[in-house]
């Protein structure tokens, strides 16, 4: 959810380099962040592999130093490695990344002293400082110190290793193909596999700020090479996004595994030994809840967005949480999406069950999902949603984020986009036809309400 005045998006401040994310903007926004932090504090900073990484980072560092903050520069690190360090050191963190966005983008992501992503309340304070010009400038004697900090990636790998059954993986003789998407996981995932005694091969494992291998969004269409080479040659294919907080998988037959299946598989595995809450966005597949109920766990739904899921997990002391895009949160490691931990956990699950990943996936409940959207007038979005809310009926209705209506073992979610003038529709059912029918029915409802609103505006 975008915050009040739109400086922060779902995952920090993002923009096109030298256009919206230009030096003037970076300076002003960093001054607002620095004013929020206050002088004489310690801050750890990292970057992904984008070619604009040094340019953005050096500007940010210069402003932080002038604001009296002591800066520790970690160099190129995955976002979860920086968060892990921030948590362990108790330092505020800044990650220079645009995650899965194309190479022309970059961003500034703030990490709180406990390693979690900054919450909306604190983002709003920074926005107030920025828009109300409450920036504080210091005298020359108060500037901070610049330091390099080593071993952030190594400590992160050790952190994962401490929480995984290494013996089980070691004895299973697994072969893995890992695609680092030319991002910072080239410094962590291959070394983690090596320590786990897994035989592995890498692709796109060179740092390349142009993302020459493929677009760094780990979607099926971007991972054709990984799928092709995994088929028949490896037990598992693994891919990270551009800053390695996410991880997705390909089975030994070269099939891309949908993210909701991975959520369900990990939920099943974790609940076997540790009963508790599983936290999911309201858009998550019913398959995960079905598995959780069977294993005597309890699912709690939140608004869409990893930081929101993580906050709810802290509140409930949940045992696992995540999103269907490969964002997996393991509370024993840290309260944020963690690509390396996700990879190690799936290897642990395969090795413990002594089954192929495709067999493990085929044991999970099968649901059919249909996703799409309807374009609407931006000014009508709220009133369209209000009309839908007052008219829908179902066995169970959730209005956490948009409106989710259950009908037997089917459901539909109607959700306005936070960034575009569209209303998204997701439907899910045990059979394909019911899912498609449900989708069509609600698409027509949204379209007809939208048309009505347009006519009303015209006749005004």
By annotation, the residues acting in catalysis are 99
Binding test (CB under 5 A) with Mg ion, winner from 42, 99, 204, 283? 99
Residue of 29, 180, 5, 3 lying closest to 106 (CA atoms): 29
Residue nearer to Mg ion on the CB measure, 123 or 323: 323
Q: How many CA atoms lie within 13 Å of 266's alpha carbon, on the beta-carbon side?
A: 27
Give the C-alpha separation, 353 to 266, whole Å.
12
Contact yes or no for 112/92 (Cβ under 8 A): yes
Contact yes or no for 111/93 (Cβ under 8 A): yes
Distance in angstroms (rounded) separating the CA atoms of residues 356 and 267: 18
- Which residue, 245 or 260, is less far from Mg ion as judged by CB? 245
Part of the chain binding Mg ion (CB under 5 A), chosen from 161-169, 184-192, 241-249, 372-380: 241-249
From 127, 179, 245, 348, residue interacting with Mg ion (rule: CB under 5 A)? 245
Nearest Cα residue to 287 out of 395, 405, 361, 366: 366
- Going by DSSP bridges, is the β-strand pair 247-250/256-257 parallel, antiparallel, or unpaired? antiparallel
DSSP-based three-state secondary structure for 137: coil
Q: Are 290 and 260 in contact (CB under 8 A)?
A: no
Name the residue number minimizing CB distance to Mg ion.
99
Whether 340 contacts 157, CB under 8 Å: yes
Q: Which stretch binds Mg ion (CB under 5 A): 114-122, 128-136, 218-226, 240-248?
A: 240-248
| Binds Mg ion (CB under 5 A): choice among 117, 123, 241, 428 | 241
Min separation Cβ 162 and Mg ion, Å: 24
What is the rounded CA–CA span in Å between residue 245 and residue 65? 28
- Give the Å distances, CA to CA, from 62 to 234, 312, 377: 46, 35, 43
To Mg ion, the closest distance from the beta carbon of 100 in angstroms equals: 5
Of residues 185 and 302, the one with the C-beta less far from Mg ion: 185
Pick the piece of the chain touching Mg ion (CB under 5 A) from 38-46, 64-72, 98-106, 116-124: 98-106
Give 245 or 401: the residue with its C-beta nearer to Mg ion: 245
Phi, psi of 388 (to 5 degrees): -60, -45
Whole-angstrom distance, CA of residue 279 vs CA of residue 258: 18
For Mg ion, which is the closer residue by CB, 243 or 401? 243
- How far is the C-alpha of 23 from the C-alpha of 143, rounded, in Å? 20
**Stretch touching Mg ion by CB under 5 A, among 69-77, 93-101, 275-283, 302-310:** 93-101
Dist. CA 408–CA 161, nearest whole Å: 42
Q: Which is nearer to Mg ion, 99 or 230 (CB)?
A: 99
List 179, 243, 401, 428, residue binding Mg ion (CB under 5 A): 243
Instruction: Note the residues at the interface with Mg ion (CB under 5 A).
Output: 99, 241, 243, 245
């Amino acid at each position: 959810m975008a915050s009040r005045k739109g400086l922060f998006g779902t995952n920090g401040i993002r923009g096109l380099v030298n256009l919206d994310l230009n030096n003037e903007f970076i300076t002003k926004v960093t001054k607002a962040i620095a004013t929020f932090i206050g002088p004489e504090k310690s801050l750890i900073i990292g970057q992904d592999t984008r070619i604009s990484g040094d340019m953005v980072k050096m500007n940010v560092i210069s402003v932080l130093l002038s604001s009296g903050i002591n800066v520790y520069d970690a160099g190129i690190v995955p976002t979860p490695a920086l968060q892990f360090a921030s948590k362990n050191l108790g330092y505020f963190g800044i990650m220079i990344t645009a995650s899965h966005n194309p190479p022309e983008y970059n961003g500034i992501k703030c990490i709180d002293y406990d390693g979690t992503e900054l919450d909306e309340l604190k983002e709003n304070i920074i926005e107030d400082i920025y828009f109300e010009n409450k920036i504080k400038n210091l005298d020359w004697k108060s500037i901070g110190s610049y330091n390099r900090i080593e071993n952030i990636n190594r400590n992160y790998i050790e952190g994962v290793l401490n929480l995984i059954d290494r013996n089980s993986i070691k004895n299973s003789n697994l072969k893995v193909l890992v695609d680092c998407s030319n991002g910072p996981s080239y410094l962590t995932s291959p070394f983690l596999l090596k320590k786990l005694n897994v035989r592995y091969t890498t692709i796109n494992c060179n740092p390349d700020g142009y993302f020459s291998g493929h677009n760094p969004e780990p979607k099926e269409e971007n991972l054709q090479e990984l799928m092709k080479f995994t088929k028949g040659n490896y037990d598992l294919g693994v891919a990270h996004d551009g800053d390695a907080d996410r991880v997705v998988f390909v089975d030994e037959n070269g099939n891309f595994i949908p993210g909701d299946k991975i959520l369900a598989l990990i939920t099943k595995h974790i609940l076997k030994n540790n009963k508790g809450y599983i936290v999911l966005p309201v858009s998550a597949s019913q398959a995960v809840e079905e598995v959780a109920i069977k294993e005597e766990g309890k699912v709690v739904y939140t608004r869409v967005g990893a930081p929101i899921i993580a906050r709810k997990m802290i509140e409930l002391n949940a045992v696992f949480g995540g999103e269907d895009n490969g964002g997996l949160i393991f509370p024993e490691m840290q309260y944020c999406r963690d690509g390396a931990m996700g990879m190690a956990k799936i290897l642990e699950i395969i090795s413990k069950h002594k089954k192929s990943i495709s067999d493990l996936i085929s044991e999970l409940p099968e649901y059919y999902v249909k996703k799409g959207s309807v374009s609407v007038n931006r000014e009508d979005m709220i009133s369209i949603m209000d009309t839908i809310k007052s008219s829908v009926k179902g066995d169970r209705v959730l209005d956490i984020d948009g409106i989710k209506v259950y009908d037997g073992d089917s459901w539909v979610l109607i959700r306005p986009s936070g960034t575009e003038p569209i209303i998204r529709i997701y439907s899910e059912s045990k059979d394909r036809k019911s899912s498609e029918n449900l989708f069509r029915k609600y698409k027509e409802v949204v379209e007809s309400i939208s048309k009505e609103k347009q006519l009303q505006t015209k006749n005004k």
